[in-house]
Amino acid sequence: MAEKTNGAPPAAPQTVPSKKEAVRLALEEMGRNATASQLRPRIRERFGIDMSLKHISTAKNKILHGESGRRAAATPAAAGAAASAAPEAAPAEGERTSAPPRGGKGKAGLSIKEAVRRAMEIAGPDAASADLRAVIRKRFRLDLTGDQVNNARSDMRRGAGAAPQPAAAPAAAAPPPQAGDFLLADIRATRDLLARLGAERLKGLVDVLAR
């Protein structure tokens, strides 16, 4: 009778569907940077397949290129799925949901010039055009360019500089003489009459003229 040997019998080599699959499994074990000469003994030991170095290199390149292509194709698809799955952010309370009109008339038919004038009242007449644009966009729903803001402000300043000056008030007329006010000429004339006629006759003359 033959003597039984102690221990388990040696394990049979693992079989795989194809040589390319053997290379893929060997790459998973040894890493993507493993060379064909390093992969060859592992494939022979694990799967019982004796492949040439050229065959291993060709299979490795196909495997690595295929993985790169799958990753590149999966990236935009995943990004699109994430974008479609993400809920759209709701606008904050009081925030408009549509873009402001470009130029023209905005809220309540407000003109560009009037919108700039009101923005200058809020931000100051010397505010930068970028600050005025922000106020106009937020308050009046008008999206103006920097040139539009600057041109409107220049027009308003030129108009303010050319405003007609108010006419000077006419000189006040001299008030009429009041009772008891005597001119120097009147006093001299009266004194001459008094010297020539005397007080009684001058008084009589005054009484006649007063009638």
Domain boundary assignment for the chain: 19-76, 107-161
Rounded to 10 degrees, what is the CA torsion of 53, 59, 60, 66?
A: 170
pLDDT (0 to 100) of residue 149: 92
Is the torsion defined by CA of 117, 122, 125, 130 positive or negative? Answer: negative
Structure letter (DSSP) for residue 107: G
What is the C-alpha separation between 51 and 19, in angstroms, rounded? 8
> Which tokens belong to 191?
């004194």
Tens of pLDDT along the chain (211 residues)? 444 445 555 555 555 568 888 898 888 888 888 898 998 998 888 888 888 998 899 998 989 888 776 766 666 655 555 555 545 444 444 444 344 555 555 555 788 999 999 999 998 888 898 999 999 999 888 899 999 999 999 998 888 765 556 666 666 665 555 555 667 788 888 888 888 888 888 888 888 887 7
Question: pTM for this structure?
Answer: 0.30
